[in-house]
Structures are given as structure tokens and as C-alpha cells.
Amino acid sequence: MTERRTGPESGPLRLGTRRSKLAMAQSGQVANAVSRVTGRSVELVEITTYGDVSRENLAQIGGTGVFVTALREALLRGEIDFAVHSLKDLPTTQPDDLALAAVPVREDARDVLVARDGLKFAELPDGARVGTGSLRRMAQLNAYARCHGMTIETVAIRGNVDTRIGYVRGGELDAVVLAAAGLNRIGRTDEVTEFLSVDMVLPAPGQGALAIECRAGHTAQDTALVAALAALDDPVTRAAVTAERSLLASLEAGCSAPVGALADLLADGQIVKEMRLRGVVGTTDGSTLVQLSTTGPVPETYDQAMALGRELAAEMLAKGAAGLMGERVH
Ligand SMILES: NCc1[nH]cc(CCC(=O)O)c1CC(=O)O
């Protein structure tokens, strides 16, 4: 057996990735950026996660992190040097032995509609079947429909992006709702029939952002990699997603709970004034939503970003948010 020397010391950096088209696309992008900032080549190592093989409804599998656990185990076993996750799939608690080394600039955080015949949401006929696997999307779509005198039927689906679009092409569903970022990354943005305003559907905490994770510096090589990957970090995106995930954690919700959150910068002309954090939680049928926002100075530290999320969560809980989240999944 020939032994190939790879890993932190020399040779290519090993990037663990899921096999899905979306995961391969985002890993490929990050691989290029990492070899640019480290001057080393990056080799993709394919890893299958429970979230990829299970046919169960994600809400039923429950528990957070179905897509990330196998990648994290490979990191801790030293089989790979770093991994790329969709930030919205990461559990809100960060393991001590792993480092969130970089959160690159976020792309489009919105959800989008992919409907038959080029339809926009408001043009869907009564009784339209709208597919999504997310209770957050169901709650907000149903709330919007109720408010606008529409009747829609939200249908629980899962599967990769191509599968979900296939339900519309095949005529089983009138529309599906997906993340814009996912479609962008696999080059299928042209399928979008409407970019849903965040006033209509607030995205999942962290949606549209990536997380680059590696071991938290047990060895000199690990420490050097954490430092090198930091070049890809965008402080504003990191502050925003930290606030969003702090809100989620404070609402004590699992990943399948209907919580939407989005932090963005409020500017006066060119001058950035504040960070705004919006949050929503609701019942799946959309009959009740608690939707609030808060603004504060742009967080400069992790603790400040966490505080922004905690403050909004406290206000939402005071307005009855806990009662809307239903049974916990784990
Ligand atoms: N839940 C699966 C998942 N995780 C990340 C994305 C899209 C990319 C992103 O939000 O960063 C998707 C697909 C989707 O929700 O449509």
C-alpha cells in the first residue's frame, strides 16, 4: 500500500463535503478561496451524512445537525482538515473542539418561489398545493395567504433541490419554496418565479451564509489553519448570523421549529447606522405569528451580537412566542 502524505502538515488540505450537488458546489467555491488564501491545494473528500440517506421527514428525524454530524466526526478523527456547512444547518451550540473559522460574505438570504407557469405567489389559484419541508415557511406562507384571502395547501416535502423542483415540473405540486442561495449555487436561479420579500417570509437564521469549520487548534497545524481561514471571514455577516442564531437559541427552538430571523445593516446614505434584527415565530397553520424587530449599534464582539439576539427573543417570549412553537422535537 502506498501512503500518500496529506493533511495539515504538508500536501493538499482535505475538505470534507457531502455528495449532493449543492454541497459539492459550495465546497468547490470555498476550496478555490481557501487555496487562494493558504497557497495550498485543496482535495475534496466525500462523506455521507444521516441527512442524506434518511427518507424520513426532517422534522421527524428531529434533532439538529443531521447534515453536519458525519462531517464533524471526520474532522475530529483527523480524516479531513476542514468542512463547509450551510450555516442554517448548524446547531446553535458550537462544540469546544471545533472552530467556526470563517463565515464568508452572505449571499441572497431570501426564499424564492418556483411555481408552474411562471406564477407569483399572489397569482396561485385557490387550493394551490405549495411544497416545503420547513415549518417556518409553512407558518409564514399560510399567514400571508390568510391575510390576503387566499386558500393554499402547504405540503410537506423533502429531498434535494432538483427533486423538489421536480414536483412542480411533474405536476404534483403547483409550487415549491426554496432558498435563493441554494438555487444560485447550483446555477438554477432561472427556475425562480418570485423572490419572496423578507417582509412576507423571513428566512431561516443563517440562511444564505456558509460556515467553514476546522479543529480548534489542538496542534500547531490546527492553529495555523484556523488563522489562515480567518482571511475568508466577513465580520458583518458573522455578526448578523450570530445575532440570528442567538435569537434561535434563546427561543430554545430545534432546527425544525418555525423560527425566522434576519439581521441586516441600516444605513443613512453611505453611513452605516445600526444593525436591525427581525424575528418571527408562528403556528404552522399561520393563524398566529409573533413578529418583532429590534435595532442596536452594529455588534463589534461576539457577546454584543449574542445580546442583540437574546434581547429580541425576550421580547418575543413576552409576546407569547413559546406557546406557538408546539411540541419540541428533541
Ligand atoms: N435545508 C436544507 C438547506 N440547507 C441550506 C440550503 C440552501 C442554502 C442556504 O440557505 O445557505 C438548503 C436548501 C433550502 O432550504 O432550499
Spatial distance between the Cα atoms of 132 and 177, rounded to a whole number of angstroms: 6
Phi/psi of residue 192, each to 5°? -65, 130
CA-proximal residue: ligand 1, atom 2 (nearest): 89
Question: Residue 203 falls within a domain, yes or no?
Answer: no
Residue 292 Cα, ligand 1 centroid: separation in angstroms?
24
Q: Are residues 47 and 170 in the same domain?
A: no
Question: Residue 2 falls within a domain, yes or no?
Answer: no
pLDDT digit string, tens, across residues 56-91: 544 444 445 677 889 999 999 999 999 999 999 999
- The list of the chain residues with pLDDT below 70 reads 1-10, 49-65, 253-257, 325-330
Ligand 1: which atom is nearest the Cα of residue 204? 10
Q: Are residues 150 and 115 in the same domain?
A: yes
Question: Residue 254 falls within a domain, yes or no?
Answer: yes
Instruction: Domain of residue 254: give its range.
Output: 238-324
- Show the DSSP H helices in 170-263 as ranges: 180-185, 220-229, 235-250
Q: Are residues 245 and 290 in the same domain?
A: yes
Q: Tell me what pLDDT residue 328 has.
A: 47
Residue 93 Cα, ligand 1 centroid: separation in angstroms?
19
Q: Is 234 a catalytic residue?
A: no
CA nearest neighbour of 180 among 160, 163, 203: 203
Q: Are residues 150 and 227 in the same domain?
A: no
Residue 117 Cα, ligand 1 centroid: separation in angstroms?
24
Residue 88 Cα, ligand 1 centroid: separation in angstroms?
7
Question: Residue 88 falls within a domain, yes or no?
Answer: yes
ipTM of the complex: 0.94
Question: Residue 8 falls within a domain, yes or no?
Answer: no
Q: Which of 169, 195, 221 is the last residue before a domain boundary?
A: 195
Spot the catalytic one: 52, 81, 89, 108. Answer: 89
Spatial distance between the Cα atoms of 19 and 249, rounded to a whole number of angstroms: 29
Count of CB atoms situated within 10 Å of the CB of 67? 20
Residue 218 Cα, ligand 1 centroid: separation in angstroms?
31
Q: What is the DSSP string of 83-125?
A: EEEEGGGS-SSPPTTEEEEE-PPP----EEEEEGGG--GGGPP
Domain count, the chain: 3
Angle at 234 between CA 228 and CA 240, to 5 degrees: 135
Q: Are residues 255 and 214 in the same domain?
A: no
Ligand 1: which atom is nearest the Cα of residue 111? 16
Question: Residue 6 falls within a domain, yes or no?
Answer: no
Task: Indicate the pTM of the whole model.
Answer: 0.91
CB under 6 Å to ligand 1: residues?
Answer: 86, 88-89, 178-179, 181-182, 207-208
Q: Are residues 59 and 124 in the same domain?
A: no
Q: Are residues 26 and 90 in the same domain?
A: yes
Pocket-testing residue among 54, 88, 130, ligand 1, by greatest number of atoms within 8 A of Cβ: 88
Q: Are residues 179 and 227 in the same domain?
A: no
DSSP assigned state of 216: -
CA-proximal residue: ligand 1, atom 9 (nearest): 208
Q: Are residues 85 and 229 in the same domain?
A: yes
Q: Are residues 248 and 304 in the same domain?
A: yes
pLDDT digit string, tens, across residues 245-260: 999 999 975 445 689 9
CATH of residue 54:
3.40.190.10
Q: Are residues 175 and 120 in the same domain?
A: yes
Question: Residue 228 falls within a domain, yes or no?
Answer: yes
